[in-house]
């Protein structure tokens, strides 16, 4: 898992509440067994017209949001079914952090397990970010996980909370498998002292 310490990047603004996982990654793309390659299908039904051409009005297709690595959105982001593929698609697309007033619980947990940082700010702070995004040709933010701060170059600064263990895992790029492998020597020692029964 890619470590997350400090990211400065272009911000895409998705002025929608209750964005659900069925829209983040539609069901027809869930047949893949790899974790990679889902970014091309992110928000597929919104990003593309029926003939397969890009929808020019969709947020992520706007020139100002090209190469975005940070997404701001409204409340209850990631609602709907619990598919982990939603976060795989977000990460594969290149979005490192999502900032919203609230998240669906399962989606929120899946973010941390896949190297994406979900940040909860107040409705007022989110509204200010949307206004700053609208006022600039291209809006950038810095997300600093070590300091737990979100900031821009024009005076916006907001602190956020992350549970210490999750913060440790993201900063060090540790997913569930990596955490287990940190105890590989102890596991090997245990297995050596407890031979398998024949």
In a domain, 118, yes or no: yes
- φ, ψ for residue 14, nearest 5 deg: -115, 95
Q: How far is CA 140 from the centre of its chain?
A: 16
Tens of pLDDT along 135-155?
A: 999 999 999 999 999 999 999
In a domain, 182, yes or no: yes
In a domain, 42, yes or no: yes
In a domain, 125, yes or no: yes
| 144 strand-pairing partners | 6, 149
Supply the pLDDT for residue 129. 98
Could you tell me the two tokens for 64?
Answer: 């100002």
Token pair 């007033």: residue: 101
* Count of domains for the chain: 1
SS3 content of the chain, % helix, strand, coil (to 5): 40, 20, 40
In a domain, 83, yes or no: yes
Supply the pLDDT for residue 121. 98
| 79 strand-pairing partners | 20
CB-CB contact of 13 with 150 (8 Å): no
Please report how the helices 85-93 and 105-113 are oriented relative to each other, as an axis angle in degrees rounded to 10.
50
- φ, ψ for residue 72, nearest 5 deg: -110, 140
In a domain, 175, yes or no: yes
Q: Tell me whether residue 163 is exposed, middle or buried, using C-beta atoms within 10 angstroms of its C-beta: 0 to 12, 13 to 18, 19 or more.
A: exposed
Q: Which helix (H) or strand (E) holds 79?
A: none
**3-class DSSP state for residue 86?**
helix
In a domain, 47, yes or no: yes
Q: How many other C-beta atoms are found inside a 10 Å radius of the C-beta of residue 125?
A: 18
- DSSP tag of 155: S
Residue among 150, 75, 85 nearest 117 (CA): 150
In a domain, 1, yes or no: no
**C-alpha dist (Å) from residue 26 to 10, 38, 39:** 25, 10, 12
Range of the domain at 53: 6-193
Q: Which residues of the chain have pLDDT under 70?
A: 176-192, 194, 196-198
Rounded-to-integer distance, Cα 28 and Cα 40, Å: 13
CATH of the domain at 94: 3.20.19.10
């Amino acid at each position: 898992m890619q470590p997350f310490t400090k990211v400065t990047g272009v911000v895409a603004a998705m002025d929608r509440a209750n964005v659900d996982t069925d829209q983040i990654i539609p069901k027809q793309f869930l047949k893949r067994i790899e974790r990679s390659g889902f970014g091309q299908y992110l928000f597929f039904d919104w990003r593309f017209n029926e003939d397969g051409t890009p929808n020019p009005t969709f947020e992520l297709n706007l020139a100002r949001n090209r190469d975005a690595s940070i997404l701001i959105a409204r409340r209850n982001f990631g609602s709907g079914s619990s598919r982990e593929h939603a976060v795989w698609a977000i990460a594969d697309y290149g979005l490192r952090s999502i900032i919203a007033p609230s998240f669906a619980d399962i989606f929120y947990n899946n973010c941390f397990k896949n190297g994406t940082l979900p940040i909860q700010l107040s409705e007022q702070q989110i509204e200010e970010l949307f206004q700053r995004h609208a006022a600039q040709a291209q809006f950038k933010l810095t997300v600093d996980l070590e300091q737990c701060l979100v900031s821009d170059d024009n005076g916006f600064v907001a602190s956020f909370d992350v549970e210490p263990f999750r913060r440790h895992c993201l900063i060090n790029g540790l997913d569930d498998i990596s955490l287990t492998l940190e105890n590989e020597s102890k596991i090997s020692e245990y297995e050596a002292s407890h031979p398998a029964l024949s």
